[in-house]
C-alpha cells in the first residue's frame, strides 16, 4: 500500500514539474511585461511554443555530429530527473533517498557540460562564444552552490533534501546568519544558472551578448523544444530548491493525509508565484552587467557561501 502511494506520489511529482515548468516561465514573462506597461503574451504561450516546435522539422547543420543530436535528450533527461528529486509539495518521495543535493548539482552540471559541447559542435563563432562564457560562469557558480550546500548540510546534518527540508521546517532551526548568507548566495547562483538578468538576458535578440541563447542558436524543431523545456525545468528546480530549503513551511511530510498534500500543493503554487514575481521585479529594475563583471558577482556568492560555512564552524548557533 505504502509502495503504491509512494510510486503515485513520485509519479505525480515528475508530471507536476513537467507541467508546471512552462507555466512558471510564462508567468515570469507576463509579470515582466505588465511591469513594462505591456500586455505581454498569454500565460500559456510557452506550451504553445513547445507544441509548435515539436511539430516542426529539425534543421541540422551539415557538419553536426551525432553528439549534437543526442545532447538535447541528455540535457532534458538530466534536468527532468534533477527537477523531480527536489521536494515540491511533499517530502515523501520514492526517490528521496537519492535526492541528494550533490547529486542534483552533478545532474545539472553534466547537462551544462553537454550543452557547452553542443555549442561548439557545429563550429559557429556564436556557439563558441556562448560556450566559453557559459563555462566561465559555471566555474564560479558551481563552487558557490557547493559551498551553499555544505553550509546548509552542516546545519541540517544531511545533504539529503527531504531531511534538510524537514529540519528547516522544524523549530530547531531558529534564526541563523549563516542561513541568510547561504540564501543570498543561492539566489545569485540561481540567477546565473538560469541565464537571467544581470548575468544573461533570456529575451535578447543581440547575438553578440548572448550566453545561453548563443549556445542553442543552431538548434531547431523538437531539439529546441527539449532544450527550452530543460531551461524551464531548471528555473522551476531552482525556485523549488530555494522554497524547499528556505521556506519549507506547508510541505507535506511522508505520511501525510490527502488534505495536507492538497494544502502543500496549494502553498507550493503560492511560493512559485511569489518567487516568479520577485524575479520579474528584480529583472526589470536592473541592467545586465558587463561580461567581465560576472565573475565579481558570482565571486560574491562564493564568498558568502564560504562565510556561511565558516560561521557555522566557528559558532554552532549562527
Partner 1 sequence: MGLLDHIPHQSTVPAHRPWPRAVVAEEGWRAAIDQLVAGRATLLGFWGEPAAVHMALLDAASAEIAVVTYECASGSFPSVAIDHPPALRLERTIHDLFGLMPLGGGDRRPWLDHDVWGQSGPLAGRSVARATVPYEFLPAEGEGLHQVAVGPVHAGIIEPGHFRFTANGEHVVRLEQWLGYTHKGIESLMQGASLEAAARLACRTSGDSAVAYAYAFALAVEAALGIEPPRRAIFLRALMAELERLANHFGDIGAICNDASFALMHAQTGVLRERCLRAADAAFGHRLMMDVIVPGGVARDMSSYGIPAMQALLAEIKKVFPRLIELYDNTTSLQDRTVTTGIVKTEYVRQFGAGGYVGRASGRDFDTRRAIPYAPYGALSFDVPVLDAGDVNARVWIRIREVEQSVALIAQILDRLAPGEIRTALPAGRGPCEGLALAEAFRGDVLVWLRLDGENRIERCHLRDASWFQWPLLETAIEGNIIADFPLCNKSFNCSYSGADL
Residues of this chain that interact with partner 1 (CB under 8 A) are 32, 35-38, 125-126, 129, 132, 197-198, 201, 203-209, 217, 284-293
The smaller minimum CB distance to partner 1, of residues 10 and 201, is found at 201
Q: How far is the CB of 184 from partner 1 (least distance, A)?
A: 17
User: Tell me, what DSSP letter sits at residue 252?
Assistant: B
The smaller minimum CB distance to partner 1, of residues 5 and 38, is found at 38
The smaller minimum CB distance to partner 1, of residues 89 and 219, is found at 219
The smaller minimum CB distance to partner 1, of residues 49 and 166, is found at 49
* Lookup: cell for 250: 506547508
Nearest to 236 by CA among 11, 74, 26: 26
Q: How far is the CB of 207 from partner 1 (least distance, A)?
A: 5
Q: How far is the CB of 296 from partner 1 (least distance, A)?
A: 11
Q: How far is the CB of 104 from partner 1 (least distance, A)?
A: 29
**Mapping DSSP to helix (H, G, I), strand (E, B) and coil, where does residue 100 land?**
strand
Neighbours of 234 (CB within 10 A): 25
Side-chain-facing half-sphere of 235: CA atoms under 13 Å? 25
Q: How far is the CB of 191 from partner 1 (least distance, A)?
A: 12
Four-residue CA torsion sign, 255, 258, 263, 267? positive
The smaller minimum CB distance to partner 1, of residues 255 and 296, is found at 296
Which residue is listed with cell 528556505? 246
Nearest to 3 by CA among 94, 75, 88: 94
**Mapping DSSP to helix (H, G, I), strand (E, B) and coil, where does residue 199 land?**
coil
**Mapping DSSP to helix (H, G, I), strand (E, B) and coil, where does residue 160 land?**
strand
Amino acid at each position: 500500500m505504502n509502495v503504491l502511494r509512494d510510486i503515485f506520489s513520485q509519479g505525480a511529482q515528475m508530471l507536476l514539474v513537467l507541467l508546471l515548468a512552462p507555466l512558471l516561465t510564462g508567468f515570469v514573462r507576463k509579470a515582466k511585461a505588465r511591469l513594462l506597461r505591456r500586455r505581454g503574451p498569454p500565460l500559456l504561450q510557452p506550451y504553445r511554443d513547445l507544441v509548435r516546435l515539436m511539430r516542426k522539422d529539425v534543421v541540422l547543420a551539415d557538419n553536426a555530429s551525432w553528439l549534437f543530436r543526442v545532447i538535447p535528450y541528455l540535457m532534458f533527461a538530466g534536468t527532468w530527473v534533477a527537477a523531480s528529486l527536489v521536494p515540491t509539495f511533499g517530502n515523501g518521495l520514492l526517490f528521496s533517498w537519492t535526492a541528494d543535493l550533490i547529486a542534483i548539482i552533478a545532474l545539472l552540471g553534466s547537462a551544462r557540460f553537454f550543452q557547452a559541447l553542443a555549442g561548439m559542435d557545429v563550429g559557429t563563432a556564436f556557439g563558441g562564444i556562448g560556450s566559453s562564457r557559459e563555462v566561465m560562469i559555471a566555474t564560479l557558480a558551481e563552487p558557490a552552490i557547493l559551498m551553499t550546500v555544505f553550509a546548509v548540510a552542516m546545519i541540517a546534518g544531511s545533504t539529503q533534501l527531504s531531511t534538510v527540508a524537514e529540519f528547516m521546517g522544524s523549530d530547531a532551526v531558529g534564526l541563523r546568519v549563516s542561513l541568510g548568507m547561504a540564501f543570498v548566495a543561492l539566489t545569485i547562483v540561481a540567477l546565473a544558472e538560469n541565464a537571467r538578468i544581470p548575468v544573461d538576458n533570456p529575451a535578447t535578440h543581440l547575438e553578440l551578448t548572448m550566453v545561453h541563447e548563443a549556445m542553442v542558436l543552431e538548434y531547431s524543431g523538437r531539439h529546441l523544444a527539449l532544450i527550452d523545456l530543460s531551461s524551464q525545468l531548471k528555473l522551476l528546480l531552482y525556485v523549488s530548491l530555494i522554497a524547499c530549503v528556505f521556506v519549507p513551511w506547508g510541505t507535506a511530510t511522508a505520511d501525510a493525509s490527502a488534505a495536507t498534500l492538497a494544502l502543500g500543493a496549494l502553498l507550493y503554487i503560492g511560493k512559485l508565484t511569489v518567487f516568479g514575481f520577485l524575479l520579474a521585479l528584480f529583472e526589470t529594475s536592473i541592467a545586465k552587467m558587463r561580461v567581465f563583471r560576472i565573475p565579481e558577482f558570482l565571486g560574491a556568492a562564493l564568498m558568502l557561501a564560504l562565510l556561511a560555512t565558516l560561521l557555522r564552524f566557528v559558532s554552532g548557533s549562527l
